[in-house]
Structure 1
Amino acid sequence: MIEKTTSRDQDGWGEMTSEAIQAMLMDNAARSFPYRHPFFRRLYLVAFLLVTLLILLPAWTIIYIPTKNRPRRNWKLKRCLRVRFSRRLCGLIARCEIDYLGRDLSIDLDPRKLKYSHPVNIPPAPSDILCGHPKEALDLLQASRGRWMLRYIHRYKREKEGIWGKWNNSDNGNVYGLDEVKAFWYTGEKSTAEEAPQFRRPGDPVMLHFHGGGYVLGTAAETSLSSNFPKALVKHSPIHHVLSVDYRLAPTAPWPLPLLDAISAYHWLAKVEGVEEGDITVAGDSAGGHLALSLVRWLRDQGQNVGLKMPRGMVLLSPWADLGFTNVWGEEAIRHNKDSDTIDDTFGPFACSLLLRALPASIMHTSPYISPASLLLPEARQGEKSFEQFPATYIVYGGAERLSTNIQLLWSRIRLSREFDPPIIPDRLFVSPDAIHDFMIFPWMAEEASEVYEDLDGWLRELLSADLPEEDEQSVAESLEFEESIEASWKEMVRQRRLSRQMTRESIKSHKSPVMGPVQDDLGMIRMMEDMSEEGLSMITTDISMPQFDLEMPKSPEWLTPLTSDLRPDYSLDDDEVPWYDLDGSADRDIDTETRKDR
């Protein structure tokens, strides 16, 4: 049994232990036997959408007209409705056991059809790079094969052979380990279909980004909501090269396979693309923030053993830092921001069931790689469970989100380790008081996002223009991998590279990025309902694993018009409108505002 870090009784819930938390999660898990069958699930989802849009949405409108009934007094009516609908939609994931909302990584996207991104296939890192936590977790995954247990999903006779079907993967013959990784370069909007990624000079900063989605959904592709972050970043920050990674998702790739993909992506940037680690910033939103934390911890613990250095900094957007759910222990804690966020009670436990099904149950409370903000992990200023030697970190979260308590605890633990190991610039915590979880990816929360981008731009410029310890010329030369270079040639190469890096630093320091322009959410109610119906229909019409039960839904069916329309990646914007992440207030731009051409 794991000892609790505090002795106080949480609202009469008793002592917080690993076993007690697991029992609580199981008691609150969705019971969804009728909805698991693909045919009945599809019928239920259609009924769900109709009831929500035609009955519940008008009822919610009446309820939220008085401002005293709104989750946040500052919210407008449309925001209340959007959050309520999104939370109801989120609840479908666990109730209907939907695990196919990611992208099929076996299919390469046609780069000519992409407007903002450039697909790239990243080779797996060398096998000898695996050590430490990912190696230990991978060994456990292989050893437990055929006995994987999904702890917070209900089944009658849970121990019965074959009860978990495809989620057990006992007979598929896969060899789990390092694999090819899909990713996308974001370097700005393309002017032609065949345009290549923008040229990167030595010293230009690069961001390695991991998308959110609870490890069960989402993609790095530009049609995903998470792509709004790299799209906006290349325009409203000094980082104009963002590599967003399509790491493997938990339904087919439990932990540590997503971490292996993150390691391969980082290794590829540093050792294949030749990007200096000091030019890399690691970032992630929601579950992607958790993956970014795990990657940086592994680099801190094992980087010297495998020839990889730490990144320059880390940016975390609403990071999921307590996969053990210790921060929801107690009546008050479990209800924290329950009515003001898009996350449903059942989503997190369902996602963890898939992600950690191959590992011991206690790992979610004992491993700093899994739950760095767990209350069942002792606070530490130094050592392997601390944040000692972590790079400068920027964290942003919404005051209305359910994960705010575990993010606050994460922040306090990072700050605790800074007493002995200060970063090159101060860490930064940005709290948007009335924003929801992962709010920066939602077009209808662009007003709050614009404030973050302006603040983040200043912090990144300070970080990227700060002086690092002088590079050792011999190590730089070796990193260039010249086979027969003479001393004079590599010294000249080092000199040229340092000159380029210095010019980049000076440009970053002396400029600022365009500020995001008009960002009001001015969509009418009918437009909002149309957008919401598209979100529901995209879930219903997604391909399922049993084609014989597929009910093909026509686009914009007459019985839902005008509530539906074709699913579009520009989020219901007219052709003559500019996406919110491209708004830059150019009319007010001053001479010090930076564009990509400035570097």
Structure 2
Amino acid sequence: MGARPQPGEKVVLALHGGAYINLSSHPIYAETPRGLLKHVDSVKRVFAPEYRLSSTEPFAIEHPFPTALLDALSGYMYLVNGVGFAPSDIVIEGDSAGGNLAYALTRYLVEYKGTPGLPAPPGALLLVSPWADISESHHKLPGGSASTFIASDILGDVKESLKYPMHAFTGPHGLEAAQINPYISPASLHPDLVVDFKGFPRTFLIAGGAEVLLDQIHTLRDRIVKDLGEGNGVSEGEGRARYHEPPDAIHVYLAFPWHEPEVTDTLKAIAEWISLAP
């Protein structure tokens, strides 16, 4: 990974999922990065840094927000200052909770752009089934995706399965902070949340049409499109947000090689999108 970049080379900073409490950057969890390496000619390397996972009672109370964000920022700075990639040649990618983290890292780089010693924002942001509302506000929507797709999606009943991760990740901030903190829940429905995406780079948002997080991803999509506009973001005046949703696909379907033809079709769409940038 330490070799200097070649002219025109893009690199993916890949942040794994796991609800901020499990999984890792081990190659067994790297189906999405492997797919990008296979389909995107300009991407020769993927950097998948580890970040500290959160935990809470009955285990040790460790590494709540913003610990993972600090670790992801360290990885980004390594690519720029250590390896020598231009920020414009970096694609930040994340799956599920990793999508939440990829978004938060990009937000930090956008909000503090120009700070001495801080690299510029990335050239592109790729969000795969991002966990966009840690506040639970979408879980209670009557007839919503959180209940409609319980039996078909791998996450099952998120009203129960995500309780521990939410408490572990928010830690001393409490779930109340998740309702109004734009770094934690950009798709929260709480009326006091203030969030916008002005200044964000080209963004490709992906969701499965039958995943339990679909409603919150739709909210995130609408907010991104409102500020960035729809488009590939390569022509002057063109929108910078693109959305892809295969019908009946599950949460982070790119991680499952059997989920064809959706996996290959999506990777080809991502490859085309990345290749459009100079």
TM-score by length of 1: 0.42
Superposition RMSD on alpha carbons, in Å?
2.2
Residue of 11, 20, 24 corresponding to 1:206 = 11
**Is 1:233 the equivalent of 2:36?**
yes
Partner of 1:277: 87
Alpha-carbon distance change, 361 to 454 in structure 1, aligned in 2, over 3 angstroms: closer
Question: Which of 130, 150, 153 does residue 341 from structure 1 map onto?
Answer: 153
Q: Residue 402 of structure 1 aligns with which residue?
A: 212
- One-letter amino acid of the counterpart of residue 234, structure 1: L
1:414 CA displacement: 0.5
Q: Helix, strand or coil: the match of 1:393?
A: strand
| 215, 222, 227: which one aligns with 2:27 | 222
Amino acid at match of 1:240: K
Aligned to 1:393: 203
1:323 aligns with 2:134: yes
1:202 Cα deviation from its structure 2 partner: 3.8
CA shift for structure 1 position 223: 2.1
Looking at structure 1, the residues matched to 214 and 265 of structure 2 have their Cα atoms a distance apart, in angstroms, of 19
> Residue 354 of structure 1: CA displacement?
1.0
Q: Is the 8 A contact 2:5 2:83 kept in 1?
A: no
1:458 aligns with 2:272: yes
1:288 aligns with 2:95: no
Taking structure 1 as reference, are residues 388 and 199 closer, same or farther at Cα in structure 2, changes over 3 Å only? Answer: closer
Whether contact under 8 Å (1:282, 1:314) holds in the other structure is yes
| Aligned equivalents of 1:416, 1:248: Cα separation in 2 | 33
Whether 1:444 aligns to 2:255 is no
The DSSP-based 3-state class of the residue aligned with 1:434 is coil
Which amino acid letter does the alignment assign opposite residue 27 of structure 2? E
Q: Distance in 1 between matches of 2:260 and 2:49?
A: 23
Unaligned runs of 5+ in 2: 56-61
Q: CA deviation at 1:427?
A: 2.0
Q: Does 1:367 align with 2:188?
A: no
Residue 336 (structure 1) shift: 2.8
CA contact (8 A) 1:393 1:428 kept: yes
Q: Distance in 1 between matches of 2:191 and 2:38?
A: 39
- Cα drift, residue 362 of structure 1: 1.4
In our comparison, the structure showing a higher alpha carbon Rg is: 1
Q: How many residues align?
A: 263
Question: What's the counterpart of residue 243 of structure 1?
Answer: 47
TM-superposed CA distance for 1:377, in Å, is: 4.6
Deviations 1:57-93 (A, max 9, x none): xxxxxxxxxxxxxxxxxxxxxxxxxxxxxxxxxxxxx
Output aligned runs, 1:6-405, within 5 Å: 185=1, 200-224=5-29, 227-238=30-41, 239-251=43-55, 252-306=62-116, 307-333=118-144, 334-345=146-157, 346-377=160-191, 385-405=195-215
What amino acid is aligned across from residue 155 of structure 2 in structure 1?
Answer: I
Higher helix share: 1
Shift of 1:198: 7.4
Alpha-carbon distance between aligned partners in 2 of 1:287 and 1:428, rounded to the nearest angstrom: 20
**SS of match in other structure, 1:443:** coil
The offset of 1:310, in angstroms, is 1.1
Cα shift at 1:228: 0.8
Unaligned runs of 5+ in 1: 1-184, 186-196, 466-599
Q: Distance in 2 between matches of 1:310 and 1:445?
A: 33
Does the CA contact (< 8 Å) of 2:228 and 2:241 recur in 1?
no
